[in-house]
């Protein structure tokens, strides 16, 4: 039987709120067994870019990462946020180890090709990007890897990478060695049947039910990329995807996506 | 026979010069066998502090690390500089893994006690600070640890720590498992008999010779802390301390300090 591994992803909202981040870290420390954390960015980098007079450029909700922006996001994500989370986890006796994709060559990305839009130093992942063996070794040493959303191309170039993509790529890469649960933590209780009602959490969704919910327009547009990402992870061998409130990971309220 | 391990320390001067840093990384990649790199800060953090209107405060040549300064130095040292060096080493096929002391709890420091001066969030190390077992495991996985000069106290607090101190503490901690060579790399060819003449490198210095050189005033005041640090490392089991030019680590010109 494969050992259980839980991969948690948290977004910028929690990182911007130190009380929430502290609470999340305490809740995460109560989760027994092997775990990995992937964290997004937060507003700090955007604020710093503004102070420095570097205008944040977004196209279709995605940041354009020029060289100056890459410098700043690397400082925030890999420096401030990552080390702060690692230190807080250590305080809770979780032996966290902060990683960018460059560290140990653990996630090698490719710079996004320029088509209609030049996203700059943005990294895309493929099925070969994650070094599952190194992660397995670190997990066997009872370390808890903590990923920021910075990767590299193996040619000396750091790359800004979507944190949801990192979480699902890490989960998929470890699915043959572990029974992997992928947890997307955000500011809602789960996938809601009624976006106005935070108690209307749908407890379980299979691929068939997802198609129905999508056809009926129940699942809001903003949730669709996360859901597609989640079902792709299930197809690739991840056991369960859990969508839950970051402050309630140890409470029963959540949505579980499963293969059938 | 213990395996050879080389611990290299580079300072801010190289980090501020991307051409020099790139060349150092290439030279380091030619060094066969187990190695660890410790890097100092560089001017970037001070420049950023100035842009943000945070006045750098120094007492007796040491930075006072208030909370805002700690944030910025963590971003630069653990974020920008550390990940940049790791990515450059990966480009040269060196499987580098960036670390702060918080990562894997590998260096636990204590906040410097407030006596005449309050240094703020400055971390001091002792004989128990470095987790030699974790470093040994990483080295056995053919990883090259790359340390920035940020540690933690185990209670959730990051601490700014002297990079020379980190290098010698890491070297001392591994001296029972490895034959450790500690390399202090800087912008001179070694310890000079005549500070005006960069060719006047003293090839070897024993503790007895050091006392004579110090008594005769041959060794310049600025070198004394580095020398004291070096001989303390030798006393604690480090095999050799090498003082050399960061651009010439593969050339024979250097000063070797040894126990006798």
Question: In chain B, pLDDT over 70 holds for what percent of residues?
Answer: 100
> Which residues 96-155 on chain B approach chain A with CB closer than 8 angstroms?
96-98, 100, 102-105, 134, 137, 141, 143, 150, 152, 154-155
User: Would you call A102 and B95 a contact, using CB atoms and an 8 Å cutoff?
Assistant: no
- Give strand pairing partners of A7: A36, A182
Smallest Cα distance from B128 to chain A, Å: 17
B120 φ/ψ angles, rounded to the nearest 5 degrees: 75, -140
B112-128 pLDDT, tens digit per residue, is: 999 989 999 999 999 99
Out of A53-67, A108-122, B185-199, least confident range: A53-67
Smallest Cα distance from B252 to chain A, Å: 29
CB contacts of A52 in chain B (<8 Å) are 51
Question: What integer pLDDT is reported at residue B80 of this predicted model?
Answer: 96
Considering only CB atoms, B103 lies closest to which of A97, A152, A154, namely A97
Domains of chain B: 3-258 (3.40.1160.10)
A15-40 pLDDT, tens digit per residue, is: 999 999 999 999 999 999 999 999 99
A37 close to A28: Cβ distance less than 8 angstroms: yes
CB contacts of A91 in chain B (<8 Å) are 154-156
A89 close to B152: Cβ distance less than 8 angstroms: no
Question: DSSP of B155-186, one letter per residue?
Answer: SS-EEE--HHHHHHHHHHHTTTTEEEEEEEEE
Long-range CB contacts (< 8 A, 24+ apart) of B192-200?
B192/B220, B193/B218, B195/B220
B83-104 pLDDT, tens digit per residue, is: 999 999 999 999 999 999 999 9
Considering only CB atoms, B152 lies closest to which of A90, A105, A150, namely A90
Considering only CB atoms, B79 lies closest to which of A51, A79, A95, namely A79
Q: What ipTM, to 2 d.p.?
A: 0.95
B186-234 pLDDT, tens digit per residue, is: 999 999 999 899 999 999 999 999 999 999 988 877 788 889 999 999 9
User: Would you call B152 and A98 a contact, using CB atoms and an 8 Å cutoff?
Assistant: no
| Mean of the per-residue pLDDT values of chain B | 94
Maximum separation of any 2 CA atoms in chain A, in Å: 54
Question: In chain B, pLDDT over 90 holds for what percent of residues?
Answer: 82
């Amino acid at each position: 039987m494969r050992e259980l591994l839980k991969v948690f992803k948290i977004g910028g909202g929690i990182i911007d709120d130190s009380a929430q981040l502290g609470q999340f870290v305490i809740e995460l420390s109560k989760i027994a067994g092997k775990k990995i954390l992937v964290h997004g960015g937060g507003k700090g980098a955007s604020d710093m870019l503004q102070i420095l007079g570097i205008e944040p450029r977004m196209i279709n909700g995605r940041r354009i990462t020029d060289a100056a922006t890459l410098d700043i996001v690397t400082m925030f994500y890999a420096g401030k946020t990552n080390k702060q989370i690692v230190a807080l986890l250590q305080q809770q006796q979780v032996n966290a180890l902060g990683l960018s994709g460059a560290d140990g060559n653990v996630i090698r990305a490719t710079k996004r090709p320029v088509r209609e839009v030049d996203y700059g130093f943005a990294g895309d992942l493929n099925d070969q990007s994650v070094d599952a063996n190194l992660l397995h070794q670190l997990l066997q040493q009872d370390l808890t890897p903590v990923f920021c959303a910075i990767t590299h191309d193996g040619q000396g170039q750091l790359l800004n990478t979507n944190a949801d993509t990192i979480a699902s790529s890490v989960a998929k890469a470890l699915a043959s060695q572990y029974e992997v649960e992928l947890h997307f933590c955000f500011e809602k209780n789960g996938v809601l049947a009624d976006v106005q009602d935070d108690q209307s959490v749908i407890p379980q969704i299979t691929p068939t039910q997802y198609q129905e919910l999508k056809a009926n327009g129940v699942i809001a547009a903003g949730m669709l990329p996360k859901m597609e990402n989640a079902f792709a992870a299930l197809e690739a061998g991840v056991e369960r995807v859990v969508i839950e409130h970051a402050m309630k990971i140890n409470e029963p309220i959540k949505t579980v996506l499963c293969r059938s």
